[in-house]
Structure 1
Amino acid sequence: MRLLGYARISTASQDAQLQLDALASAGVESRDVFSDVTSGSKTAAQRPGMRRLLDYATPGDTVVVWRVDRLGRSLIDVLNTVNLLTESGIAVRSVQDGIDPATTSGRLMLNMLATLAEYERELIVERVNAGIAAAKASGTRFGRPPVRADVIAEKLEMATGARAKGKTATQAAELVGWSRATLYRHQSAAAAQTVDQQQSPTT
């Protein structure tokens, strides 16, 4: 079993020595320390130091950090990183927080983190849904903008011409960037519109 250290600071002006000293006191050799200097906008898996650590670590190793928040930019990111490591057979130990899966209290702390992260996920979903509802109430439209009728008509004419030259429905649809189902839908709509126009009384 190896002890592998991980340290993270947000900017180049910050000093990582406090973290490095803590890792050394925990028994981590300096050659086994991986670090990142990066903003909190990147998830753990996006950081080059963490990626090197994940490539280097093997089942049975333990990743040691000064504090558990060094593993992620948010509670969810921290827990995702812990899960990524533990699912690979790699343990996680936090010097400052007393998190150690080898102990009963350490496992309890990890379970508490999981519970809090799930609560945070639910709050995020609620906030997003509330924001969407408020935007819809104010008239904001979501989804793709509607395609202009003249563009549809032009594509339909091209697809119809391709069909007349022996192309299959799928080939004709792909020619104009549609799926076969989309082609059939527009053909049906155009046919129904033609029937309506023929049945409408003339003025």
Structure 2
Amino acid sequence: MPKIVLYARVSTSDQTLDHQRHQAEAAGFKIDKVIADHGVSGVSTKLADRPQGKRLFDLLAPGDTLVVRWVDRLGRDYRDVSNSIRHFMDEGVVVKTVINGMTFDGSTKDPIQQAVRDALIAFMAALAEAQAVATKEAQKAGIAAAKADPLTYRGRKPSYSRPQYLAVVSMLDAGSGASAISAETGLTRQSILRIREDRVGAERALSVWGL
């Protein structure tokens, strides 16, 4: 019988597996099995090299559905994300995202639908890589600023945690609005808008405070 598998990458103690499963179920998915990697970097580690990520390649069968919060869960960069999605589609697995409810299905035979699907895969994979690069650069900038003059740059303690910051950035890049992000993360719209207007400054504040 076809199964619905949720794959989650839990990189911090605040980004809980229960929360990610709750998000998926709230989006209408009836999860049969959860596969999760804990403490594994999504920026430096390929999906196939993660302890649990590589299980997906053996576990998933034709007719199954793979659910992820967003496509950035499926790789460390453009090539890894797009290759992972295409591999699962070739195996008859449907890939679906919680954010924006996207579906990647390899069963369609219509050439126009195929073209639209492939273009969307390329776009989303590129967006995931751009987000990862921007996050790394913002983190480096924040650390450099803190080292240059910790007292000057410390300022007010951020009202958000690093997992919340990463969630906001991810959802902004996925096209979500401030109200929707606020409902999911628990942050105020004002906090979300500040992050949107100055990601480097938001990341710097976290680094200065050691968050």
Structure with the greater relative contact order (CA < 8 A, sep ≥ 6): 1 or 2? 2
| TM-score normalised per structure 1 | 0.49
Larger radius of gyration: 1
